[in-house]
Structure formats: C-alpha cells, structure tokens
Structure 1
Amino acid sequence: MGWPRKSAIVMVRTTWILLSVTLMVAAGVAWATYRDLDEGVRRSKAIAPDAPRSVGAVNILVMGLTTRLDLNGDPLPDAILTQLHAGESDRGGYNANTLMLLHIPHDGSQATALSVPRDNFVDLHGIPGGPVRGKIKEAYGRAKIAEETRLRADGLRDPHELEFRGREAGRRAQIDTVRTFLDVPIDHIAEVSLAGFYYLANALGGIEVCVTNATHDPCPAPT
C-alpha cells in the first residue's frame, strides 16, 4: 500500500516542478520581450516631477500635431502620404491643431473630454522671452523652433537629437500653456501626429468616413 502513495507524491512533486519551470520560462520570455520593447522607446519627460498634479483624478492632455514627419523628423513613406491625402511631407508644421483634455474621476464614474479651440488667443508659456500672445495651438511649434535654434548655436548637429529635444521643448510649452489657460493640473500627455493617426486607424481595422453628403447632428439644440 506504500508504493502507490509514494508514486502519487512523486507525481505531484514532478507536476509542481514542471509548473514552476514553465512559469519561470514564461516570466523570462515576458521580461526579455518587455526589455526589447522598452529599449526601443524614448520617453518624454515634458511633465516635470514637481509639476502640479491632480488629487485622485487623472487629467490627460491629448495633442494632435499637423506635421507630416515621423517621430525622428524624417519624411513619412510616400504610400502613407498617398493614403492620407496629406500633401508633401514638408507641409503641416508643428501646430497642436487638436487639443483635448481628458478627465478621469477618482470615483470610477464616467470620464469626460474637453476640446480646447485651437485658435484661442492666449498667453503662450515656455517660449524664450515669454509669455507672448498667440493662438494656443502655436505654443508647441514656437518653443520647438526656439530650442532647436539654441541647440544649433551650441553646436548640436544630429538631426534626430535636435528633433527629439525640440519636441520636448514644444511639449513642455504646450502643457504649460494649456495648464495655465484652464487652471487645472495635467498629469499625462498623449501626442498623435498624422502618422500616429494612420497607424491607430489601421490597428482598429480602418475607419470609414464619408463627407460627400451634408451631415446632421442628432443631438438636440441647446435651449
């Protein structure tokens, strides 16, 4: 009667050992995959550690840029430009033509989004000699140009590094400008260019839009 019991114990131990090894291998593969992905990402530090933060809730600023260039400042592939009907890669600039503040309450209730009109005439922060008056969408591009001009004067020539550091200055300026204008903290940012929009649309399986006919908003008119 002792042998079956011992065999059962051995089988249980063997099963646990195999399960442990499997979990260790899976964890190792997951870590290696995460490390490879993480090493290929440059993280933005546009929001300073000591910047004002929301208490409990989360505010996310979504910025949509008009640039036809990729994250490194290189032209988009012709195939993408053709599908976007966006013209040549030198068009667009770095205006934040879309500005939306997404507010996620701390109590789990429904999130809300506020669209900030891009042509609001406000004080632009984060620009040398500023604040200066201008359209709220211009903070990003003005700060980017000023930072790249300064870096070139200091001898920096790497175009990709200029692009990254210029965009970081643009992000900081746009965040500071919107934060001051709305008088609310901003906890995170999401930046989407035309290329980002293209890849997001593809990930969703495409987005069909037809504007050949007049559109009608079913929402009732405000009283």
Structure 2
Amino acid sequence: MPNHRTEGGRARDRGTATRQGSRRKPRPRAGARKFGVVALSLLVLAVAGGGWLYIRLHGNIDTFDADGLSRHRPESGAGGQNVLVIGSDARTGGNDKLGGGAKDDIGRSDTALLLHVYQDSRHAAAVSFPRDTLVDIPPCKLPKGGWTRTQRQTMFNEAFSVGQSRKGNPACTQNTVEKLTGLRVDHTVVVDFKGFATMTEAVGGVPVCVPKDLYQGDLNPNRGSRGKRVFRRGEQTVAGQRALDYVRIRHGIGDGSDIGRIKRQQAFVGSLLKKVKEDGLNPTTLLPLANAATKSMTVDEGLGTPRKMVDFAMSLRDVSLESIRFVTIPWRYQGNRVAVVQPDADELWKDLRADRPLDAKDTDRAKKERERKDAGKNADKDAEKVDGQGRAVSVYNGTATPGLAASAATQLRDRHFTVARSGNATTQDHTTTVVSHGPGERSDARELARLFPGATVEQSAQAGLSVTLGTDYQPGKGEGDTGGDKGGEDKSPPRKSRSAADDPCADLSYG
C-alpha cells in the first residue's frame, strides 16, 4: 500500500531532531551520552551557527493554517510538551520519484507518532498510532472553507486525507489525536519522503537489522514475482532510497502486519540516534541535515521560524538514548482493522497527562493489569467446568466485525453445546455480549455466560438459549504479540517499550 512509505520518513525525522540537542558542550561525564530526542532538534540547532544559514533556512520552512485546529481543544496536562510527528507520502516536490504514484495524488499518511517530552527535559516517550486504527475523526476544516461532520469508527490515516488536497490536512490529524487522547498537542511536524532520504544520506547511513533475505516482491507484493534481492540477511547500513525502502517494507517479514513495521521503524529511529551520538556533530553533517529537514517539513505556526525551532531543540538537549521510550497505542485486531483497547489506552493517556514515566515498575496501571490477568485465569478455569451436553444455543453477531458468530459457535461446540443457529443479529451496534433465556432457564443461561466474560444475562419471552455478541467479545485465548492483519489474537499485548539505546535486532518483528 502506498502509504507505508510515509511512516518511515517521519519516524526518522524525529530521530534526527534529537541530535540538535547535542550541540551543547558535554559535561565531563554524562554529557557525552546526552542529546535531543527528535530529528527536528538536531537539524534545527544547526541554524544557530550563523546568520547567513538562518536566512537561508528560513525560506525552507512551510507552515499550516492554525485556523483548521479544533475550537474545543484539551487543556494542558501536568507538565511537559507533546509533539505530533506525521509521515506524509505526498508526491509533490519530487517525492513521486522516491515513492512512486502520480504527482497529483492526494496527500496520505500511514505513520503518526506522538512524542511526549517530560517536564524534567530528561525523558521522552513516543507513542505510535497504527494507520488502520478505528477512531472518531472530529469536525475538520476543508481547504476551501467549511467544516466536515464527525466521522465515526474511521481509519486513523483518513484524517490526513480530509479535503483531498495534495499536501494533506495535518490540522485534522492533530484534531483527531487530541480527541482520541485528551492530550493537548503543542506542536505538529509533517515530514515527506525526500527529506527523510536526504537526511539518512547526510549522516552517512543508518545501521539496521534484517532477519532474512528480502526481494523486490516483498517491497511490492503486486509485482507478481520475487524479483531481485534488495536486502541481504543480517546487519547492514542503509541510506537514501534504501533507507526509505527498509522502513516501508511490510510484507516478507514476520506476519506482514503494520504492527511489525512500526516496531522496525521504532528500532530505526533508535539506531539513527545512536549513529549521531557515535559520530558526533560537525558542520559538514549539520548543514545538509538542517537543509534537508527544513525543506521536507511542514510545521505548525509555533515552529514556523528557525529561531522557534532552536528554542524547541534546546529544550531537548538533556534527553539521553536510554530515556527515550517507544510504545504503540494499546490495540487489538477487529477483523482486518485495529481497535483501541480500553481501559489500557486511557491509562496510557492518563500517565502522559500526569507526566508519569511509562516504565514505572509499580504504577496503578501495572497493578490493574495483574488483577485483570488473575481474573482472566479464574475465568478460564470456570469456563473449563462448563459442559453444554444436551443444550442448544443460537449465536448472533451483534457487531460489524465479520466472523464472530462462527468463532463463538466453534467455542460452544468445544464445550459440547449444540449450535441451533448462527448468523447476524438484527442490529450491529451491541457493545456488550448478552445471554438470553426463556422462562425457567436462568441457571443454564448463567452457566453459559461463564464462557463469555462480562456478558449480561436477560430473560426473554421465547424459550431457548441465545448469545448476541458485542464488541467486548474477544475470540481466542492467550496474550502476547501474535496474530496478523486478517486474524490472530484479539487481545492487547502488554504495554512494552523499547529505548533508543536498545539493540536494533532485538524484538524486531511482530508475528
């Protein structure tokens, strides 16, 4: 899918920004390992070197209209600042040569990352949003004026395409993130293919890890043949088009999911930051970095000048590699889409709003997670005791997710129930699973409900047992990072994070 390309570009730009922070002279011991977090930071600090460079780069910076931001924005949290980084696959300005597609295609986004820089200016957390996540897109301003209506349960990446313009709609994506998270976004940065490729060349390439040989057919599954090898197995350094191809690749590694690609992109950003730290900063590197970054970026008005970028970069100078944590929004598969898992997601936003570290060892969220796991184990034990021998059940799918009735029917047959009917319910807006029973069948219904944790039990006028599945129904058992775009586990993996200092080959592929 064409959008894949964008994600990598953005993620990397963030990594580059971090370098800017290192421009400060290091302290005797700790200073050598400290520098800014996002690609923006490093690139922007180059501007501080001289007036002529300031003037030159000033003309590179594009801004988007703040009039498109929502009139009902969240209040600021307990501290820190939030920066939204969006990867754009717009084909304008020569990007079509790197990513393919027509020059007049509408702007799309496959990658988005919310960076929270903590108030202590020594820690940062980056939360990735899968492109297929189902969210509510709030009213957004159109390029020619007027506002859209709220779009319910729409893929996240559709927000950037609202208005069908060639450059995309970053204000709409920002509105969507603020609506979803309840966090106020302080700055938004959009990065394109060309800038990303040029920046990786400016640092002399980025070390990456490839678990197996990859071919042209993995990069473009519509090609029809395997083609030539494009990446050999093992560690290697990539730059320019090859770096772009690496972060775009989705098929041929792991289960081919977007979740897996996000993991590799997060590893890429960490590797990029480590490369900058090892090489140090020098004018030969900084000038092309700053030039490439500013040419490829569209930013909010709060970052619309080199001086504003420098001020922001300076706020990141003390963030170390070990203190940059990458996570993905809590998720589960819903058919071939991704659903946000609650209350996990709300707990994540609550932690960020309160400026709490994500890797605290005994937070309220961690306690609740343990309690939920214990409850799940007990529920599994209860379910093992259920025997439906001699009882018939009708199963109805009360959601828009296909295949749930069939999954539940299989689960019931495993427990020796007879499935009398299986199909769709009259409406598909059920959020809670309901077990219905006729007069005198309440005890049978309560035992049946043990197979569907959280289900409610109701009496109906008709005799017989039936189950109407809601969106709370999760087929399958177990936890962890398994599954694929078309199925697999429907539970949220535990909140895991990686740091920018981690081995680029570690925990690289989902599935």
- Sort the TM-score into its range (normalised by shorter chain): 0.5 to 0.7
Cα RMSD after superposing both structures: 3.4
SS where residue 117 of structure 1 aligns? coil
* 1:136 aligns to 2:136 (yes or no): no
* 1:64 aligns to 2:77 (yes or no): no
- Cα deviation for residue 92 of structure 1 reads 7.0
Aligned partner letter, 2:190: E
- Cα deviation for residue 196 of structure 1 reads 2.1
Gap runs ≥5 in structure 1: 1-28, 149-162
Any conservation in 2 of the 1:100–1:115 contact (CA below 8 Å)?
A: yes
Any conservation in 1 of the 2:112–2:129 contact (CA below 8 Å)?
A: yes
Closer/same/farther in 2, CA of residues 101 and 76 from structure 1, 3 Å limit: closer
Residues 79-128 of structure 1: per-residue CA shift (max 9 Å, x gap):
xx2xxxx3344497422211111111001332111111211111112153
Identity %, equivalent residues: 24
SS where residue 201 of structure 1 aligns? helix
Closer/same/farther in 2, CA of residues 31 and 207 from structure 1, 3 Å limit: closer
* 1:206 aligns to 2:205 (yes or no): yes
Aligned partner letter, 2:80: A
SS where residue 62 of structure 1 aligns? strand
Between the aligned partners of 1:89 and 1:129, the Cα distance in structure 2 is 26
Between the aligned partners of 1:181 and 1:35, the Cα distance in structure 2 is 38
- Cα deviation for residue 207 of structure 1 reads 2.8
SS where residue 199 of structure 2 aligns? helix
Greater CA deviation, 100-109 or 61-70?
A: 61-70
- Cα deviation for residue 42 of structure 1 reads 2.8
Between the aligned partners of 1:108 and 1:173, the Cα distance in structure 2 is 28
Between the aligned partners of 2:204 and 2:62, the Cα distance in structure 1 is 27
Residues 140-179 of structure 1: per-residue CA shift (max 9 Å, x gap):
1123x2xx5xxxxxxxxxxxxxx5xx64xx0110100111
How many residues were matched structurally? Answer: 161
Aligned match of 2:119:
106
Between the aligned partners of 1:40 and 1:90, the Cα distance in structure 2 is 21
Between the aligned partners of 2:177 and 2:133, the Cα distance in structure 1 is 11
SS where residue 176 of structure 2 aligns? helix
Aligned match of 1:218:
506
Aligned match of 1:22:
none
- Cα deviation for residue 45 of structure 1 reads 4.1
Equivalent in 25, 28, 51 of residue 31 of structure 1? 51
SS where residue 106 of structure 1 aligns? coil
Aligned match of 1:7:
none
Aligned match of 2:128:
115
Q: Which has the higher contact order (CA 8 A, sep 6+)?
A: 1
Provide TM-score, normalisation by structure 1. Answer: 0.59
Bigger helix fraction: 1
Any conservation in 1 of the 2:84–2:114 contact (CA below 8 Å)?
A: yes
Aligned partner letter, 1:142: V
Gap runs ≥5 in structure 2: 1-48, 142-146, 214-232, 234-252, 255-503
Aligned match of 1:181:
180
Between the aligned partners of 2:505 and 2:53, the Cα distance in structure 1 is 45
